Structure formats: C-alpha cells, structure tokens
Copies of this chain bind each other. A is one copy, B any other.
C-alpha cells in the first residue's frame, strides 16, 4: 500500500544539498507532496530525468545579478527534455545556527563564497564573525548543525534551517534585495501531461511563454531578419541573448523567450519563418509561470 503511494508521488531531481534554493523552488512549483531528490551535479540531475530515475527536474537558468547559466542551456540542448513551467524565486539569505546558539556567540560563518559576497555589509557590521568559504549554502547549515558548536553559523535560505532543524538568527541579510533566480521545471516530453497536472498554478498568470534556442551566422542584419519573424506577427519577446560559439568565430547561439504557446497559429508560423533564416532551431518548451504561493 505505502509502496503504491510512494510510486505515485512525483520525484523531482534538483542540484545541491537538501535545503538548497533549488529544493525550495521544487516545492514552490509542485507543492509539498513530492519527493525532491538531491544531485551532486547538473549533469547527474539531467541524466536522472533522461533515464527516468526522476520524473522531472528543477533547473536554475538565470540569476538577476549573475546572468544566464549557459551550462544548463547546454544540457537542455544535449537532452531531449522539455520545459513545462517556470518560477522566479527571490534569493533571501539568512544567518542560521544550531538551536540554542545566540547571535552574540557566533565567531565563524560558513557559506558558498558567492553567498558570503552577497552578505558583505552584514559581515562588515559584525566584525567578530569570520567568514569561511564552503561548498554550498545548505551544506553549510548541515555542517554547523552536525558539529553543534556554539560559535558557528551558516548563511543559507530559510528552507535549510527547516530541513536541518536549525535556528534563524537574522533574516534577509543580503546586500541587494533584487536578487532573483529563475527556475525551469523540465521533464521528458511524454511525461508532460502527468507532471503538468501536479503544478501549482500561479494565480496571476495564465499567460504562456515559449523558449527557443537557434543558431545563426552573423552577417549584418541576420538577427534583425530572424526576429522579424516575431515582430511582423506582433509577438512579444521577453528574453534575447546571443552567445558566441567557441571555435566558430562569427557564429552565435541565441536564446529567445516569447509570449505565446508553440501551438498558437501565429507562433507556429513565426517559428516556421524563423527556421528559414537560421541554421538550426530547437523549441525548449511552452509553459506558464507557476508557484505564486511564497
């Protein structure tokens, strides 16, 4: 009986330790009734979904301060998976310590160097705390909880505190509150209906979006002609980014997000038009924003 219940629970792959921001994004997209499975690397996470060891994966694709995660675009192109939802998560950093530890006792703070750098002002205002680099944010919480020292804390998302039964000593300690990461929910194309049924729909937006990647040689006006396919049909673009193809000077990949579903007639026609202008084109998926609860 319980076997059956487990097997009907959606199994979501993410990268990072338990309590990572990606795990929080998984719950935001799919609710609490899922089995979120930690993976050490993005490659292993994509492989899990391709091998059907996981039903879907939650993938960070861009951050408002650090830019697009090209590596995950590359993995999207290597795997035959499709995007079925997206969610924007605010990245909030917190000072987290084992239960019983007081703020005034903390002398050493562990976290990923990027998170430490994003909390520079807080650390400068608390010079008694020495910042110490670690592999990741959630993993630092795990470590300080296991060590149970009264003078150590970690910087991580709130989920990590919950997961490891630790205490929030200070919340929202990042310098720049405009720190967002966009996560994509991906799965094998034939699993789309099943996973889509589990998505927590955002109240705000029923609008569909489509993500594509295309390649083009860069003659003057090549991009202009390519995006004419959308402009001539009044299709709105929400992202465009060129990326040089290494070792092939003057050739580029373009990432493009547009408003509309790939099955909308005008989007379908625009994609057919675009494919006349480009060397290759891949539709990564059509999807809505999800997970309004937060």
Chain A residues near B (Cβ < 8 Å)? 41, 62, 64-71, 112-113, 117, 120, 133-136, 178, 180, 218-221, 223-225, 227-228, 230-231, 234-244, 246-247
Contact = CB atoms under 8 A, between A and B. Distances in A.
B240 A218 contact: no
Given A220-B231, A220-B235, A240-B242, A67 B69 contact: yes
A228 B232 CA distance: 13
Closest A-B pairs by Cβ, 4 of them: A67-B67, A224-B231, A221-B231, A178-B246
B180 A246 contact: yes
B41 A120 contact: yes
A182 to B, nearest CB: 9
Given A71-B65, A133-B133, A135-B113, A221 B234 contact: yes
Contacts of A240: 223, 240-242
B242 A241 contact: yes
Given A220-B236, A221-B234, A240-B241, 15 more contacts: A41-B117, A64-B70, A66-B71, A67-B67, A67-B70, A113-B133, A218-B237, A218-B238, A219-B236, A220-B230, A220-B235, A223-B227, A224-B224, A227-B227, A238-B242
